[in-house]
Chains A and B, each alone.
Chain A
C-alpha cells in the first residue's frame, strides 16, 4: 500500500540545522511532486514546501524561504527537507504529503496520503 515514513526529527538548538527524510513506497514516486507540511503543537496545519516530480521546481512558504531546502532522490524514493538557522517557532511535527494525482505539468492541491510525521523541537 501507499506509505510515507518521515524521519530525522529531534531536539536541536536555535541556529543549528537538521535534515528530515521521507521514504515513499507503494506508488511511482518519480511521477509525483511532493510536499512538506508542518503543525506546531496545538496549532493548525501549515504548508512548508513543494518539489516537482523531477526536482527541477521548488517553492517555499515565505517564512521558510532562504532557510529551508527541499530536495529528492528518485533512485531512493525519498524526499528531504534541509532546515538551517532553526528558530523556536520552527518547533513542529513535520509531515510529508503526496498529492492525489499528478500529470506531467500539475499536481492536485489535495493530498491522499500523509506520513505519520517527525517531531522537531528547537530549544536551547
Chain B
C-alpha cells in the first residue's frame, strides 16, 4: 500500500501561518472527503485535529483548518504557537485496499 505524500518538514515563526500538504490519488484523497489530520507530540499518542477534510473535533483550536483540492489535502495552522511544534499525519479512506485506510508519512513542524 502506497503512503500518502507529505513534506518531511515545515517551519514557521510564532504568529505566522503554515500549510502542510498531503497528496494521494483519486482512489483516496481525491475520491472521497474522508481525510483526517492527527498531531503527535514526542512520546505521546496521536491526537485528532481535523476529520472529514475540514471538521474540527470539540476542543481543538480554530487555528487549525483543513481543505482539499483534487488529489491534495492541506492542513493550515494560523497564528503559530510554540505548542504546535509536533509531527502531523494525514490519513485517508482508500478504495484500493480492503483495510480502507492509508497514512501519510508525516511532517515535522518546527516553530522557530
A-side residues, CB < 8 A to B, are 35, 37, 44-47, 49-50, 59-62, 95, 100, 108-112, 114-117
Contact = CB atoms under 8 A, between A and B. Distances in A.
A59 B103 contact: no
Contacts of B3: 44
A25 B55 CA distance: 25
B99 A50 contact: yes
B45 A50 contact: no
Interface of B: 1, 3, 34, 36, 38, 40, 45-48, 51-52, 57, 87, 89, 91-94, 97-106
B38 A47 contact: no
B98 A62 contact: no
Contact of A44 (B45, B89, B93, B94): B89
A61 B40 CA distance: 22
Nearest to B97: A59
Contacts of B48: 100, 110-112
Contact of B103 (A46, A60, A115, A117): A46
A47 B101 contact: yes
A110 B99 contact: no
A47 B3 CA distance: 10
B89 A110 contact: no
Interface centre among B34, B45, B98 (most CB of A within 10 A): B45
